[in-house]
Chain A
């Protein structure tokens, strides 16, 4: 099977790769581009561990063929911090102990950031439904919801 040549932008950097037509965006991020922050928890779009944004929309990268990335702008967990400056969400996740094993954390951070970019003052219910596609087996979500709420408050205060 011949490979496909793809040009895209990832975390602000122009990126080119070749891929098998069967490869998902998650496969390419992890296996070809060494961006292993996105995780494969299910491969069927049910767990959200592979969440990335595609032109600003949260998608499961396991459900997207890599060839579809042509001409798009992709962001992953690796692009959330700015240099040594953690994003407020990352800081709040640490302060609130909103992770135990941390495997779901990249996807939840990507999804939470997309939420706060769109809605800087979400209610608890809005956060819970927004994150309903991101499974966490360790925390019971309590501390995650608190971290996102607290991050939103800090963002509102500093803007």
Chain B
């Protein structure tokens, strides 16, 4: 698919900053999120969860709960369909344990009752006898001989037989000869890094309202990044037909990857089927932390060689990620992203997917990439320090460009890394003076971006306005950019378009809102559906004028005769043709259904200044600048918002956030008081620079922007903090005790 004319095109609507269409609903409290739905006869569901990290269920007795006041249904694993395979089996195993609980918080039974209180009271009457088993929550320990086996036989054929059964997948990529590359270097550094699991931390807990009858027909309302996938998965887990389950996506209060799968939805459906009444389940915050998908924790070794003049001669990395008690830690992306920003002759990246007694990891914004950047960019920074080189100059010298063979195999098409580095170098931030105990950090970051199955329909109303239906839940203002792209393509004004996130019964299958795909893929689909509509509009005009379709062009929202023999007719506006469409051939609807294949990869460069208090180890980010290639910013305010949000989440990951497990394998901090995400007073303003190097795979040049913004911050902040403290920090989060310990260790070394 070729870039239409983005480089030269003058946009009228794209690139402006209109008020979002769902804005008024969201500032008045009217917008309906997951927990804001109610139904007549509705019951409330609650879920009993394991207090143990690893245990065999010896006895599960729900009789007393069934008899409790107000209780209408109790479900356990046997209320779900058997015969699940692949990822559906993992999802089922995660949402309801069978015989063995695999992590603190793992669901074992659920109750539906006439009130939340009745449901919670009934949970206390369920008797579970556990045989507690040894557990492991640390990735390196889980790989060690003698570590408890979580689920034997899970490993695929990529894992060498000599590995512990908790190691379930292996990935390796690269090219060249790393040993020869290291031999060419003037300085080779090899360092080890660790990052803890963090949670996506969306403010809206998972919530759903389910209704499933004995006839196998159902309705599901839920906050999700992908209602089509929710329908498919739930139908399989309940043993019903996917098309008989209509799923409507509510407004979604944040997802960041964490709402790309299901947790409570199949449970609510199973309860509803048993009670034959609607059932609502709303997670509390503790359940969100204990039983949804945090990101992986990682343990990594990275070795890089550099010449005196800053050329990187070789890079080697070993990445171990745990993804909870299930396969799926995104370690292959860690290995693929690690060296992606650099044009290296010699690369080897190896990665292991390891199971631990923790909740099943879920995607979190560029899954696997931020930790890779943390390790690699920290080593590059240290090499620059030791060789006395400028960190941006070194990155420019080694930067991937169009035609560079990427670490993960193929050659890059048109990319904008160099442009982000040059913009960062030219930014006043880069040369601003620093105060005492302050340091500056630079990092690049990379993410692939994704396209996926996409269907939209664009229907005209008789008054000349447009109803656009998309199948990708709006997680950050995408309805505004869809309206903009439709208006741009049709040549009408922004406020004449309304975009709706259609339910699963209304539109063809759509992949989840993930992989930074929405503005790219649903945007491309919107433009193509508008073109399909224009085709139909021109045909109606041609018929009315009695001329050939080829003699009609679409310009500025009107059909116009064109060419020598077209004749002289007044232009027909979209509104004019639409007003007569019922009598000129019927409703006019444009479509697009396909899996586009042109999501352009994206790069960013971040600059951070941090201050470290050497007395307390406390760190403050005092200045932050994000430079990222957006391809083309459809609504620049929401592009900036993605940049700022990614940076803020990265700041939390770098400095505060971590899953803390006790010796007993229980999560110690399942709440926002102890799992501290950045608050307003923690952060500075976050400056943004939008670089636009058009993606050749999108008609307007769009690249996804949502995920790349979280790739550089861990490393950029670690570099800033390390430069401020005068000692290299290799473990996240860089909490005050860790910084003090590093300062103490450095003093002991030098003393």
Interface on A for B, CB 8 Å cutoff? 20, 22, 27, 30-31, 35-44, 46-47, 49, 76-78, 80-81, 86, 90, 93-97, 99-106, 109, 124-125, 127-129, 131-145
Contacts and interface: CB of A to CB of B under 8 A. Distances in A.
A124 B27 CA distance: 22
8 contacts: A30-B35, A44-B672, A46-B673, A86-B28, A105-B27, A133-B679, A137-B645, A141-B678
Given A102-B27, A128-B680, A143-B637, 14 more contacts: A30-B35, A37-B30, A39-B33, A43-B285, A81-B28, A99-B27, A100-B475, A101-B203, A101-B252, A101-B475, A102-B31, A136-B203, A137-B254, A143-B641
Contacts of A99: 23, 26-27
Contacts of B19: 94-95
Contact of A140 (B33, B256, B284, B647): B647
A78 B202 CA distance: 23
B203 A104 contact: yes
Interface of B: 17, 19-20, 22-24, 26-33, 35-36, 38, 115-117, 200-205, 251-256, 282, 284-285, 475-477, 635, 637-638, 640-641, 644-645, 647-649, 671-673, 677-683, 685-686
A132 B504 CA distance: 39
Residue of A30, A127, A137 contacting most chain B CB atoms (<10 Å): A137
B680 A141 contact: yes
B205 A143 contact: no
A137 B677 contact: yes
B680 A78 contact: no
B637 A94 contact: no
A103 B254 contact: yes
A101 B202 contact: yes
Contact of B20 (A22, A46, A97, A138): A97
Nearest to B255: A101
A47 B683 contact: no
Contact of B686 (A44, A94, A138, A140): A140
A42 B672 CA distance: 7
A132 B678 CA distance: 9
B111 to A, nearest CB: 17
A132 to B, nearest CB: 4
Given A20-B117, A100-B638, A100-B641, A46 B671 contact: yes
A125 B28 CA distance: 26
Contact of B27 (A46, A49, A94, A132): A94
Contact of A131 (B638, B640, B680): B680
Contacts of B22: 102
Contacts of B637: 96-97, 143
B33 A135 contact: no
Contact of A44 (B252, B635, B671): B671
A81 B254 CA distance: 25
Nearest to B687: A142
A101 B19 CA distance: 14
B24 A86 contact: yes
A140 B645 contact: yes
Contacts of B682: 132
A137 B202 contact: yes
A105 B204 contact: no
Contact of A41 (B17, B38, B204): B204
A145 to B, nearest CB: 7
Q: Which 10 A-B pairs have the closest CB atoms?
A: A37-B29, A103-B253, A140-B648, A102-B26, A97-B637, A140-B644, A46-B672, A77-B29, A90-B27, A42-B285
Contacts of B644: 139-140, 142-143
B672 A138 contact: no
B680 A132 contact: yes
Nearest to A126: B681
B645 A138 contact: yes
Contacts of B475: 100-101
B254 A76 contact: no
A42 B35 contact: no
Contact of A38 (B29, B202, B251, B285): B29
Contacts of B32: 36
Contacts of B31: 102
B705 to A, nearest CB: 12
A132 B679 contact: yes
